Amino acid sequence: MPPVELRHLRYFVAVAELLNFTQAARRLRVAQPALSRQIRDLEAELSVPLLERGPRAAKLTEAGATFLEEARAILQRADEAVKLTRAVARGERGEIQVGYAPSLTTEVLPCALHSFHNTAPGVHVKLHDLSSEEMLRGVGAGRLHLGLMARPSERALSGLKFERLREYPICVALPPAHRLARGRQVAFKQIAEAPLVAYSRAEYPEYHAMLTKLFAGTGRTPRLVEEHDSAASLIAAVEIGRGLVIVPACLGMLAGGRLKLRPLHPPPPPIQLVAVFDPQRLTGAAVGFLAAARSAEDHRPGSNARPRSRSR
């Protein structure tokens, strides 16, 4: 005897609610003999009579009344599972894991979260404050759907893809009382020998690659006096005079009045904020969040963001 199927349950519920095989067959759009056979098969599978047949109507047995409640609950749960599955596939429900670099996403991330919540309120975005290396590992292993970070090298991507979201000018951050803070910009030669604080080399190799390129034409190497694992500790180090720091302009939104940011002259290539992902693991919800990050406001008051462009 075949096992009980959802079809059997739907047929039984229709008969149990109408207590009439003819009317139930009409509702289900099946032939009455086929419906009667399915109900008999169900009773045989359960080894329990569910209905008492009469010449004009049927009547539920005590076991049938109990089974009706359970069958309704099972069918409702199955319908909910189908709806939820379809909603997840459309990117309307579920959860996504997003890694981010706090200093580089201080402008984009709040806008993206607000926009995404408005379009997909049923999706929970779980944020992870991680280094670039941790994000690349997380995306590669499938623990993260997206990583919002400075553009890594092609070698570091190792088969992953990226989309460019923003570009930020490179600045030097100084204590407000520093003599170089008086001007509108700072010549690179003025800080070529200055003590610098920097992000950790182990966790932010792309940052140190940027410093190497910046100093390549000077014949000098960066005079690094400290390394830190977060923007907050970098800001504190500069504030107390441990050294200067070369950062994207968006760091000014975190530093506030604690530091002064001045663009470098001549201006070096900007830092790119990108979304890194594995296209084979990009869910509907993750696609929606990427679209929200892509369309987040480019020109908020005080923003130094340049127009976005796309790259693979």
Give the per-residue pLDDT at 138: 97
**pLDDT for residue 302 is more than 60:** no
Give the per-residue pLDDT at 273: 95
* Structural domain that includes position 50: 6-89
Give the per-residue pLDDT at 311: 40
- pLDDT band at 304; cut points 50, 70, 90: very low
Are residues 209 and 183 part of one domain? Answer: yes
Give the per-residue pLDDT at 305: 43
Are residues 177 and 242 part of one domain? Answer: yes
**pLDDT for residue 295 is more than 70:** yes
Give the per-residue pLDDT at 306: 43
- Mean pLDDT across 79-105: 83
pTM listed for this prediction: 0.70
**What is the DSSP track for 138-194?**
HHHHTS-SEEEEEPPPHHHHTT-EEEEEEEE-EEEEE-TTSGGGGSSSEEHHHHTTS
Are residues 102 and 22 part of one domain? Answer: no
Are residues 242 and 112 part of one domain? Answer: no
The answer to whether position 75 is within a domain reads yes
Are residues 141 and 201 part of one domain? Answer: no
Query: pLDDT tens digit string along 15-56?
Result: 999 999 999 999 999 999 999 999 998 998 899 999 998 877
* Count of structural domains within the chain: 3
- Mean pLDDT across 218-229: 89
Are residues 110 and 71 part of one domain? Answer: no
Average pLDDT, the chain: 88
| Least confident span in 30-39, 214-223, 239-248, 263-272 | 214-223
Are residues 177 and 261 part of one domain? Answer: yes
| Least confident span in 8-17, 47-56, 166-175 | 47-56
The answer to whether position 122 is within a domain reads yes
* Cβ contacts of 191-194, under 8 Å, gap ≥ 24: 191/244, 191/246, 192/218, 192/220, 193/220, 193/223, 194/223, 194/243, 194/244
- pLDDT band at 297; cut points 50, 70, 90: low
**pLDDT for residue 177 is more than 60:** yes
The answer to whether position 155 is within a domain reads yes
The answer to whether position 311 is within a domain reads no
- pLDDT band at 2; cut points 50, 70, 90: low
The answer to whether position 307 is within a domain reads no
The answer to whether position 16 is within a domain reads yes
First and final CA of the chain: distance in angstroms? 56
Are residues 249 and 182 part of one domain? Answer: yes
Give the per-residue pLDDT at 57: 85
61 close to 50: Cβ distance less than 8 angstroms: yes
Are residues 160 and 176 part of one domain? Answer: no
DSSP β-bridge partners for residue 263: 171
The answer to whether position 55 is within a domain reads yes
Query: pLDDT tens digit string along 48-72?
Result: 999 998 877 889 999 999 999 999 9
149 close to 267: Cβ distance less than 8 angstroms: no
Task: Mark which of 39, 58, 89 sits at the end of a domain.
Answer: 89
The enclosing domain of 159 has a CATH number of 3.40.190.10
- What CA–CA distance (Å, rounded) separates 64 from 60? 5
- Range from 2-6, 24-28, 213-217 that averages highest in pLDDT: 24-28
- pLDDT band at 309; cut points 50, 70, 90: very low
Are residues 158 and 31 part of one domain? Answer: no
> What is the identity of the amino acid at 95?
E
**pLDDT for residue 74 is more than 60:** yes
Give the per-residue pLDDT at 312: 38
Phi/psi for 246 (5° steps) reads -95, 120
Cis status, amide bond into 270, omega within 30 of 0: no
**CA nearest to 2, candidates 60, 50, 42, 54:** 42
**CA nearest to 129, candidates 212, 232, 215, 219:** 232
Element (H, E) at 59: strand 58-60
Task: Pinpoint the alpha helices (H) of the chain.
Answer: 6-18, 21-28, 32-46, 62-89, 108-119, 132-141, 154-157, 188-191, 205-215, 231-239, 252-255, 284-295
Q: 123-129 and 94-100: which strand pairing?
A: parallel
- pLDDT band at 129; cut points 50, 70, 90: very high
- Mean pLDDT across 289-310: 60
- What CA–CA distance (Å, rounded) separates 40 from 54? 15
The percentage of the chain sitting over the pLDDT mark of 90, rounded to a whole number, equals 64
Are residues 251 and 189 part of one domain? Answer: yes
The enclosing domain of 41 has a CATH number of 1.10.10.10
- What CA–CA distance (Å, rounded) separates 109 from 127? 10
The answer to whether position 312 is within a domain reads no
Are residues 74 and 49 part of one domain? Answer: yes
**CA nearest to 281, candidates 107, 68, 134, 138:** 138
Task: Mark which of 72, 89, 106 sits at the end of a domain.
Answer: 89
